[in-house]
Structure 1
Amino acid sequence: MSNLPRIRFIINPVSGTRSKVDVAARIKLYLDHKKLDHDIVYTDYAGHATELAAAAAADNYYAVVAVGGDGTVNEVARSLQYTNTALAILPKGSGNGLARHLQIPLQLNNAIKMLNTGQISQIDSGTINDMPFFTTAGIGFDAYISSVFAGSKSRGLKTYVELIVKEVRNYRHLPVKVWINDKELVTDCFVMAFANAAQYGNNAYIAPLADIRDGLLDICLIRQLDVVKALNLSYCMLTKQLANAQSAEYFKTTQVRVETEQPMMFHADGEYKGKASQFDVKLNPLALKVLIPS
């Protein structure tokens, strides 16, 4: 049996928009087998990656590599929290939010090479109604778009933007009560994003000042949205700027509670999770080890 650090590759065979490359062949070619021992497993159903990652952590693997999109990354990462096994990522999704935030190469060959020389760091995580997230969670319009996007045959940024343009005029803001930093806020809500990382994915920055290691959630509240505000917000998201005060408001906190008069949709890391009338969102400081570029 090898004494080398062990890593497990968990591959979601149906993730993302890219052509079907032979990931196992690339791993054989670009992984440094003198430094790392490895095995490769494939997911068969939703939640399977969580089980495979948990087994690796229990067996003291050095790292588990999520090969897929943000959904696969979330499934793997949730099992690695508060363990000595690090999360690594081979980005193969349509958004790749956490990979982008951690500056992991998006090109597959380079991402594999990074595993040979990467270093361990730690990042925060969050929960929304006890469901883990690592980049963003949210209620309102972004969750609605996540639900529509999940049923779309096409993926990628172009499809996402087309859905937003199509659906934004028909979505209505709703009244909510928010408890944040021990203060109660009664407001309208079009979108409330809870950001651990700065972006949704595709370099769309919903909270440009978010720091994934600062022990704080960055909250972006959009009360109402018209065409002018939508244009300002879109420009700021794509240029990594804070939107003006008329378009969005920002807060920093460790936890948030939201109550709604009628159930609202919510998402975690872009995956639609359903509807609820109460949301408890919490930040877990430095809960996850990650393998990042040196």
Structure 2
Amino acid sequence: MRVMLIANPNSTSQSDALVRAVVAQLRKVPDLQLLVRLTHRARHAEELVRGLRREDFAAVVVLGGDGTVNEVVNGLLGTPGTQPPAEELPVLGVIPTGSANVFARALGFDHDPVLAAQTLAGTMAYDLRRSIRLGTFNQRWFAVNAGFGLDADILAAVDRARQQGRAATPVRYFWASLRGWHRARRNPPQINVFADNGARTFSLEAIPLLFASNTNPWSFLGPLPMVTNPRNSFDHGLGLFGVSDLQGPAGLAGLMYLFGAHHFTRTRVVQFDDAQLVELSVPGHHRFQADGESQGRLHHVVLRSIPQAIEVFAP
């Protein structure tokens, strides 16, 4: 089996010793031929895998976080609507070394990269794989979540802290969320949303917080899964979660619901499941994020859920 390992040396927990430990686990797969490639800049992983087919490599394994997974997915599939069939692409494997690692953990892998590598080696040896849905926004793919407003602002704040040498800890995410909530109360992004799941439609105007997730949970706060749409999974369409008003104690309670505190009120919580098509727009331009990476300031995006987009190794 020919396998390409894409390693992001800038990922949160990655080190030379960890790469060696991971490679040692993967080499337990019978007849493995492993090529290790390191990324050196933004979207380098995307370039390394662009145009690969299963006849070139049976699998591509990502040693990195959700941002690196996003790059590899976009490199393998290319422009939405013109992507090859999943069976023609290398099977995707993931070993988490990022800060949240939502994609790998939602697939059932341990947060510890060596344990995850051990599990991945077993799934590769026994060819345990499944087809999953992916999301698209405009002309790109996402695997975990995407949205305007508060979540994009939170990620931008954490990214700034990481550029200053600070760790992306759960506490930092939490305080960034509180600061973002205070800013959003003063100047909410006023997101307009339309969604269709094939059975019914949903629309709302000027909502201050709304994002789409392709996984359940939508993220993790350290070891704690954060669930907003319990019915969501890689087998269903996108789950939408929003808060209709951020003002006052009920608005704060809605924000806490985002972090899994479901015993708070649901009064201002907005949920919609299995969306196949979602349109989001904002007055002016606001930050938009996909898979934890800033996509710049946008005005309008169209999200779609694509079934059987890629095959992944999963326990």
Contact map agreement 1:140 1:192 (CA 8 A) in 2: yes
Structure 2 residue aligned with 1:265: 287
> Which position in structure 1 is the counterpart of 2:37?
41
1:94 aligns with 2:99: yes
Give structure 2 stretches of 5+ with no counterpart: 78-85
Match of 1:71 in 2: 67
Equivalent in 208, 228, 232 of residue 230 of structure 2: 208
SS of the residue corresponding to residue 150 of structure 1 reads: helix
Distance 2:262 2:76 in 1: 32
Structure-2 residue corresponding to 1:179: 194
In structure 2, what residue type is equivalent to 1:173?
A: P
Partner residue in 2 for 1:197: 215
Aligned-pair CA distance for 1:129: 2.1
CA distances 1:65-88 after superposition (whole Å, capped 9, x unpaired): 111111111111223343431111
Rounded Cα–Cα distance in structure 2 between residues aligned with 1:137 and 1:167: 17
The answer to which of 239-248 and 109-118 deviates more is 239-248
Inter-partner Cα distance in structure 2 for 1:112 and 1:169: 40
Q: Tell me, which stretches of 5 or more residues in structure 1 are unaligned? A: none
State the 1:261 CA deviation: 2.2
Deviation sequence 1:94-122 (CA, Å, 0-9, x none): 01010111111222222221222211111
SS of the aligned residue for 2:301 comes to strand
**2:289 and 2:264 mapped to 1: Cα distance?**
22
RMSD of Structure 2 on Structure 1 (CA): 2.3
- Per the TM alignment, residue 47 of structure 1 is displaced from its structure 2 partner at its CA by 0.9
For the Cα contact (< 8 Å) 1:8–1:61, is it kept in 2?
Answer: yes
Count of residue correspondences: 287
* TM-score (normalizing by structure 1): 0.88
Q: Is the 8 A contact 2:51 2:76 kept in 1?
A: no
Q: Given the superposition, is the C-alpha separation of residues 259 and 243 from structure 1 closer, same or farther in structure 2, using an over 3 Å criterion?
A: farther
Shift in Å at residue 259 of structure 1? 2.7
1:113 partnered with 2:118: yes
1:262 positional shift: 1.9
Say if 1:207 and 1:219, in contact at 8 Å, map to a contact too: yes
Q: Classify 1:240/1:57 alpha carbon distance in 2 versus 1 (closer, same or farther; 3 Å).
A: farther
Q: Per-residue CA shift, 1:228-279, capped at 9, x if unaligned?
A: 3355345544548597542311113200112322212211011111112211
Residues 189 and 224, structure 1, Cα contact 8 Å, conserved in 2: yes
Name the SS of the counterpart of 1:149 in structure 2: helix
Sequence identity of aligned pairs in percent? 23
Give the whole-Å Cα distance in 2 for the aligned partners of 1:223 and 1:233. Answer: 9
After superposition, give the CA deviation of every residue in 1:199-239 in whole Å (9 maximum; x if it has no partner).
1344222333211112x111112222135335534554454
The structure 1 residue matched to 2:310, chosen from 264, 282, 288, is: 288
Deviates more, 1:84-93 or 1:230-239: 230-239
Whole-angstrom CA distance in 1 between matches of 2:295 and 2:110: 29
Paired residues for 1:227-266 under 5 Å: 228-229=249-250, 231-233=252-254, 235-239=256-260, 241=262, 244-252=265-273, 253-266=275-288
Residue of structure 1 in register with 2:82 after alignment: none
Larger mean Cα displacement after TM superposition, 147-156 or 234-243: 234-243
1:99/1:243 CA distance change after superposition, 3 Å: farther
TM-score between the two structures when normalised by the length of structure 2 = 0.83
The answer to whether residue 167 in structure 2 is matched with residue 162 in structure 1 is no
Q: 1:46 to 1:173 in 2, by over 3 A?
A: same
Moved more, 246-255 or 49-58: 49-58
Residues of 1 paired with 2:63 and 2:309: CA distance?
Answer: 21
Per-residue CA distance 1:123-151 (angstroms, 9 max, x = gap): 10111222211111011111111222221
1:56 deviation in Å? Answer: 4.3
Q: 1:120 to 1:184 in 2, by over 3 A?
A: closer
Distance across 2 between alignment mates of 1:19 and 1:260 = 37
**Counterparts of 1:120 and 1:13, CA distance in 2:** 27
Query: What's 1:24 paired with?
Result: 19
Partner amino acid, structure 2, of 1:248: V
